[in-house]
Amino acid sequence: MPRNDMPIGIFDSGIGGLTVLKEIIATLPGENTIYLGDTARVPYGIRSPETVTRYSFENARFLSSKGVKMLVIACNTVSSISLGAVRKSAGMPVIGVIGPGARAAVSATKNRKVGVIGTEATIRSSAYARAISVLDSSIEVFGLPCPLFVPLVEEGWTEGEVAEMTAETYLKDMRDKNIDTLVLGCTHYPLLKNVISRVMGDEVVLIDSAVETARAIKTALTDLSLLGGGEGSTRHYYVTDSPEKFISVGERFLGRKIEYIEKIELGSEA
């Protein structure tokens, strides 16, 4: 049986999900968290649905074995492809990032034209378009993969000429669609918010799935009477490749120190 003092388990293909963890800490500072980044097999965004699902099960199983009360899939690619399958087998509440982002986009749009940017796999899955259409089928959704944003952010190039040019090149067609709302459908993209906003213009509302997901987690824990309220919450991290890069890049994503980190093995590596 899940208990309030158990940690929340969060997993991602690598470092990106730390943007979701950052929002969880801001919204629910009293919760203990365990974060798993599958850094040996990142990126998931270029892989087949079968492979993403296999990796997702391994991640979910590992976190279950650590005694978590809830699973958060802090990865748009995994949430797009495997949320249903993980939910069926997890035996605990599972929250993904697509539903919360889609709900926020539906409330924000006035002209019923919404853009979604993400990895190749997320856009190919049409998961955001489906989730938005279930809520309001009159909304037109335009998807666009922006794969180069991920390495750009990991390199720390979130401002400056290269970031501006990349964003301009990807987003110029999106600007022509007359959207008033753009979903940042990838864990890394919130770090490019300033550049994306400059390219798209002030009138386009940017939806940060990480912020929306943290709100959804709070609501779910409240509804299930599973909110933790402890003081001095613990933050544990597990990675599948060496921790050094995760720590240096991750501390920038998270805006805080990463301690208590351990390398683990999961399945067979790609």
Active-site positions read 75, 186
Q: Radius of gyration over alpha carbons of the chain, in Å?
A: 18
Would you give the binding string for ligand DGL spanning residues 187-206, x where CB under 6 A is met? xx------------------
Q: Binder to ligand DGL among 8, 12, 196, 240 (CB under 6 A)?
A: 12
Chain residue at closest Cβ approach to ligand DGL:
45
Q: Report in angstroms how near the CB of residue 101 gets to ligand DGL at its nearest.
A: 11
CA 186 centroid distance within chain: 6
Q: Report in angstroms how near the CB of residue 120 gets to ligand DGL at its nearest.
A: 8
Residue 119 binds ligand DGL (CB under 6 A) = yes
Q: Report in angstroms how near the CB of residue 185 gets to ligand DGL at its nearest.
A: 7
Residue 122 near residue 76 (C-beta atoms within 8 A) = yes
Cα–Cα distance measured from residue 235 to residue 35, given in angstroms and rounded to the nearest whole number:
8
Residue 16 binds ligand DGL (CB under 6 A) = yes
Cα–Cα distance measured from residue 259 to residue 126, given in angstroms and rounded to the nearest whole number:
37
Q: Binder to ligand DGL among 7, 9, 37, 43 (CB under 6 A)?
A: 43
> Taking Cα atoms as reference points, which of 128, 124, 156, 153 lies closest to residue 140?
128
Residue 254 binds ligand DGL (CB under 6 A) = no
Q: Binder to ligand DGL among 13, 56, 82, 240 (CB under 6 A)?
A: 13
Residue 42 binds ligand DGL (CB under 6 A) = yes
> Taking Cα atoms as reference points, which of 112, 78, 113 lies closest to residue 97?
78
Strand order in the sheet with 205-208: 140-145, 113-118, 181-185, 205-208
Helix (H, G, I), strand (E, B) or coil at 125: helix
Residue 45 binds ligand DGL (CB under 6 A) = yes
Indicate the pairing of strand 205-208 with strand 94-95: unpaired
Cα–Cα distance measured from residue 125 to residue 116, given in angstroms and rounded to the nearest whole number:
12
> What would the two tokens of residue 189 be?
């993209």
Q: Using CB under 6 A, which of the segments 8-16, 125-133, 136-144, 157-165 binds ligand DGL? A: 8-16
Helix H or strand E segment including 244:
helix 243-254
Q: Report in angstroms how near the CB of residue 107 gets to ligand DGL at its nearest.
A: 22
Tell me whether residue 2 or residue 49 sits nearer to ligand DGL (CB atom).
49
Residue 122 binds ligand DGL (CB under 6 A) = yes
Write out the residues near ligand DGL by the rule CB under 6 A. Answer: 12-14, 16, 42-45, 75-77, 118-119, 122, 150, 186-188
